[in-house]
Each structure stands twice: as C-alpha cells, then as structure tokens.
Chains A and B, each alone.
Chain A
Amino acid sequence: GENVEQHPSTLSVQEGDSAVIKCTYSDSASNYFPWYKQELGKGPQLIIDIRSNVGEKKDQRIAVTLNKTAKHFSLHITETQPEDSAVYFCAASKKNTGNQFYFGTGTSLTVIP
C-alpha cells in the first residue's frame, strides 16, 4: 500500500519568512496530492492540491511542487502570517483504490509575530 512520510513534524518561523513542508510517497501510481490545513478543534481545510500531470501549482502565497521521479511533493508558504499557524497534512491518492487518501503525519507550523 501507499506510505506517506511528512517532515518536519514541527516548524517555527518568523512572521514574513517562508515555510516549507515536505512529503514523500511510495506508490508511483499515486496521482493526486492535496494539502490540508487544520486549526485546533476543527476539520481539515483543503488549501491547495496538485495532480501528477503538473509539476507546480501556485495560489497567492501558497505553492505546491511535485517531483514524480523522486516521489516527493512540497508545500511552500511565503510571507507567513500568524494566522498561518496550524497543523498541515499532506495526502496522496490514486484512482484504483477508490481514491482513498493516505495522509502524512502532520506538521505543526507556528508563525512567530
């Protein structure tokens, strides 16, 4: 089955700096990679996703890059703000498993004002 690893588990950055979270996956057939932001006591919120037919996707301060050969993908947050503080989860999925999501273990991001 698919195995998704996520690093780092905790990350602290100064406000305005960039934050990068990395995930690796094991199954080369995985073709969809979403990122979720979860605030304390709430459900995960989809913030950006990427499919295997592209290498990069950007949405304002958030970007995701995908390297299919190396089987890793990363979340980049630029100009971080205190409200970016949350737990971020990556996931991987593929069609022939019913699109089941395999989640990473999460990264707790703290943006220090």
Chain B
Amino acid sequence: GAVVSQHPSRVICKSGTSVKIECRSLDFQATTMFWYRQFPKQSLMLMATSNEGSKATYEQGVEKDKFLINHASLTLSTLTVTSAHPEDSSFYICSARPWRAEGVEQYFGPGTRLTVT
C-alpha cells in the first residue's frame, strides 16, 4: 500500500521548452501533495505544497510562474517547469499525504530526473 508514481522518470528537454511531471497516488487518496527538488548529495528542498482543488503554496524563493502546480484530483498533481533553463536541471520528487484523520505520513514517488540542454 501507499504507492506513489511519477512520470516520466527521466526527461531531457531543450532550453526554453516546458516540461510536465505527473505525480499519482495509486492506492490511496491524497489531500495534500508536496513537490521537492534535490541536488546531488543534498537533502530534499520543499518547493511547494498543493491541496486538491486549491492553489499551491510556494516556498520562499520558488518562482510560482516558473513552476506551475496543479492538483486536479485526490490522486493526481502535476508540476510544469516552464521555459526551462539548464539551471533547472535537477531531481524532482513528489510526495503524497493520505486522506485520513490525523494522517501525517508522506509517501514519496520515485523521482524525475530533468536535464535541460
């Protein structure tokens, strides 16, 4: 149980293009999904928190116009990196919190490796 998938697992795109990453909770409904960014050999950096049906809350320093987040259903959230540049190359990981009382756990997806050339 508590499986989270991400698609694609790897993507290479050209500078200036946009890339969409999907995050799905496969066997549970998630009230809240989180998007993280991770640089090599570093910890996870929270980018934004998204709740189903409402606008995402972005962490300080994260450009909301560049990293568009949509949480259209209780099982799907998407992150779109718009006008990608080489500095956006990173490992993007989503997590999902199950919809239940007092639920605080986060289950992570396998991550998406984005390379912008």
Contacts and interface: CB of A to CB of B under 8 A. Distances in A.
A49 B46 CA distance: 20
B97 to A, nearest CB: 7
B106 interface: yes
A53 to B, nearest CB: 12
Contacts, number: 51
Interface residues of B, number: 24
Contact of A104 (B4, B41, B43, B109): B43
B49 A46 contact: no
A34 B113 contact: no
Interface centre among B34, B43, B108, B110 (most CB of A within 10 A): B43
A42 B110 contact: yes
Nearest to B46: A100
B43 A101 contact: no
A66 B34 CA distance: 26
A44 B104 contact: no
Contact of B105 (A43, A49, A95): A49
Nearest to B91: A41
A27 to B, nearest CB: 15
A100 B108 contact: no
A67 B42 CA distance: 26
B28 interface: no
Nearest to A31: B104
B93 interface: yes
Interface of B: 2, 4, 6, 32, 34, 41-44, 46, 49, 57, 93, 95, 97, 104-111, 113
